[in-house]
Amino acid sequence: MLATSPAFKENATQALANAGLQKALTRTRPQHPAKRAAAVAALPEFEQLRDIGRDIKNHTIAHLDFYLETWAGNVERAGGKVHWCSTADDARAAVLEICNRVNAKTVTKGKSMISEELGINEHLEQHGITPVETDLGEYILQLRHEPPSHIIGPAFHLNREDWEESFRKAHTDLPADRVFHERRDIMSEARNELRAKFLAADVGITGANFLIAETGSSVIVTNEGNGDLTQTLPRVHIVLASIEKMVPTLEDATSLLRLLARSATGQDFSVYTTFSTGIRRPGDLDGPEEYHVVLVDNGRSAMVGTEFQDMLRCIRCSACMNHCPVYFSVGGHSYGWVYPGPMGAVLTPSLIGIDKAGHLPNASTFCGKCESVCPVKIPLPMLMRHWREREFERHLTPKAVRSNLALWAWFARRPGLYRVATRAAAAMLGWMGRRKGRFHSLPLAGGWTDGRDLPAPEGDTFFARYAREQRAGRV
Amino acid sequence: MSKDAILGEIRRGLKRGPLPEDQAMALRARLAAHPRHLIPARSRVPRPEQLALFVRNVEKEYGTVAHVAGLADVPAAIADYLAAQNLPTDFAMAPHPELQALPWHLRPMLQMRVGRAQPTDLVSVQHGYAAVAETGTLVLPAAPERPTTLNLLSDTAIVVLRASRVVGAYEEAWDLLRAERNDPVSNGFMPRNVMLVTGPSRSADIESTLELGAHGPRRLHVVLVDDDPAAS
The DSSP bridge pattern shows strands B130-132 and A130-133 to be unpaired
CA A171 – CA A423 distance, rounded (Å)? 67
Query: CB distance B37–A252 less than 8 Å?
Result: yes
B161-208 pLDDT, tens per residue? 999 999 999 999 999 999 999 999 999 999 999 999 999 999 999 999
Question: What pLDDT shows up at residue B41?
Answer: 98
Q: Is A381 on the interface with B (CB under 8 A)?
A: no
Average pLDDT, chain A: 95
Which among A198, A283, A302 has CB closest to B144?
A: A283
Question: What pLDDT shows up at residue A441?
Answer: 83
**Largest pairwise CA distance in chain B:** 71
**Largest pairwise CA distance in chain A:** 85
Question: What pLDDT shows up at residue A398?
Answer: 83
CA A159 – CA A141 distance, rounded (Å)? 12
Question: What pLDDT shows up at residue B232?
Answer: 64
With contacts defined as CB-CB under 8 Å, which chain A residues touch B118?
A: none
A311-321 pLDDT, tens per residue? 999 999 999 99
Query: CB distance A69–B143 less than 8 Å?
Result: no
Q: Would residue A432 count as lying in a domain?
A: yes
- Give the total number of structural domains in chain A: 2
Side chain identity at residue A50, one-letter code: R
Q: Would residue A150 count as lying in a domain?
A: yes
With CA atoms as reference, report the closest residue to A204 among B148, B228, B175: B148
Question: What pLDDT shows up at residue A335?
Answer: 97
Same domain, A294 and A429: no
Identify whether the C-beta of residue A229 lies closer than 8 Å to the C-beta of residue A196: no
Q: Would residue B159 count as lying in a domain?
A: yes
Question: What pLDDT shows up at residue A422?
Answer: 86
Reduce the DSSP state of residue A195 to 3 states and report it: helix
List the 450-469 stretch of A: residues with Cβ below 8 A of B.
none
Question: What pLDDT shows up at residue A438?
Answer: 85
Q: What is the complex's ipTM, to 2 decimals?
A: 0.98
- Residue A295: which H helix or E strand, with range? strand A290-296
Q: Would residue A276 count as lying in a domain?
A: yes
Q: Is A299 on the interface with B (CB under 8 A)?
A: no
A438-469 pLDDT, tens per residue? 888 887 777 778 778 888 887 778 888 888 88
Residue ending a domain, choose from A298, A313, A342: A298
With contacts defined as CB-CB under 8 Å, which chain B residues touch A198?
A: 215
A71-86 pLDDT, tens per residue? 999 999 999 999 999 9
Which among B42, B190, B199 has CB closest to A275?
A: B190
Same domain, B77 and B17: no
Residue B133 belongs to domain spanning:
45-231
A19-46 pLDDT, tens per residue? 999 999 999 999 999 999 999 999 999 9
Length of chain A as a residue count:
475
Q: How far apart are the first and last CA of chain B?
A: 61
Question: What pLDDT shows up at residue A208?
Answer: 98
With CA atoms as reference, report the closest residue to A331 among A121, A153, A142: A153
Residue ending a domain, choose from A298, A313, A330: A298
Q: Would residue B75 count as lying in a domain?
A: yes
Q: Would residue A240 count as lying in a domain?
A: yes
Q: What mean pLDDT comes out for the span B3-18? A: 98
Examine the pLDDT at B59 and tell me if it is beyond 90.
yes
Side chain identity at residue B72, one-letter code: A
Same domain, B50 and B138: yes
With CA atoms as reference, report the closest residue to A118 among A290, A237, A2, A4: A2
A265-321 pLDDT, tens per residue? 999 999 999 999 999 999 999 999 999 999 999 999 999 999 999 999 999 999 999
Identify whether the C-beta of residue A154 lies closer than 8 Å to the C-beta of residue A135: yes
Average pLDDT, chain B: 96
Examine the pLDDT at B130 and tell me if it is beyond 90.
yes
Q: Would residue B78 count as lying in a domain?
A: yes
Same domain, B3 and B56: no
The percent of residues in chain A predicted with pLDDT above 90, rounded, is: 82
Which among A66, A271, A287 has CB closest to B192?
A: A287
- Interface mutation vs chain B, best among A277, A307, A328, most B CBs within 10 Å: A277
CA A133 – CA A111 distance, rounded (Å)? 7
Same domain, B25 and B62: no
Q: Would residue B183 count as lying in a domain?
A: yes
CA A189 – CA A222 distance, rounded (Å)? 20
Same domain, B29 and B103: no
Helices (H), A335-414: 341-352, 354-357, 359-362, 369-373, 380-393, 399-412
CA A194 – CA A230 distance, rounded (Å)? 11
List the 122-181 stretch of A: residues with Cβ below 8 A of B.
134-137, 140, 153-156, 158-160, 163
Q: Would residue A88 count as lying in a domain?
A: yes
Identify whether the C-beta of residue A309 lies closer than 8 Å to the C-beta of residue A98: no
Query: CB distance A63–B27 less than 8 Å?
Result: yes
Q: What mean pLDDT comes out for the span B97-124? A: 96
Examine the pLDDT at B141 and tell me if it is beyond 70.
yes
Strands (E), B26-184: 64-68, 90-93, 111-114, 123-127, 130-132, 137-141, 156-162, 166-167
Residue ending a domain, choose from A298, A324, A340: A298
Q: Would residue A333 count as lying in a domain?
A: no
Same domain, B91 and B27: no
Q: What is the DSSP letter of A433?
A: T
Q: Would residue B40 count as lying in a domain?
A: no
Which sign, positive or negative, has the C-alpha torsion A116, A117, A118, A122? Answer: positive
Q: What is the DSSP letter of B146?
A: B
Q: What are phi and psi of A311, to 5 degrees?
A: -65, -25
Query: CB distance A195–B119 less than 8 Å?
Result: yes
C-alpha distances (whole Å) from A122 to each of A117, B38, B154 are: 11, 44, 33
CA A140 – CA A183 distance, rounded (Å)? 14
Q: Would residue A387 count as lying in a domain?
A: no
* CATH code (residue B117): 3.40.50.10420
Residue A175 belongs to domain spanning:
43-298
Q: Would residue A24 count as lying in a domain?
A: no
pTM recorded for the entire structure? 0.94
Examine the pLDDT at A1 and tell me if it is beyond 80.
no
From B165's Cα to the closest Cα of chain A, the distance in A is: 19
CA A210 – CA A264 distance, rounded (Å)? 15
Same domain, B75 and B2: no
- Give the total number of structural domains in chain B: 2
In this prediction, residue B4 has a pLDDT band, given cuts at 50, 70 and 90, of: very high
With CA atoms as reference, report the closest residue to A254 among A221, A292, A206, A298: A221
* CATH code (residue A248): 3.40.50.10420
- Choose the weakest-confidence range: A231-245, A406-420, B95-109: A406-420
Identify whether the C-beta of residue A30 lies closer than 8 Å to the C-beta of residue A173: no
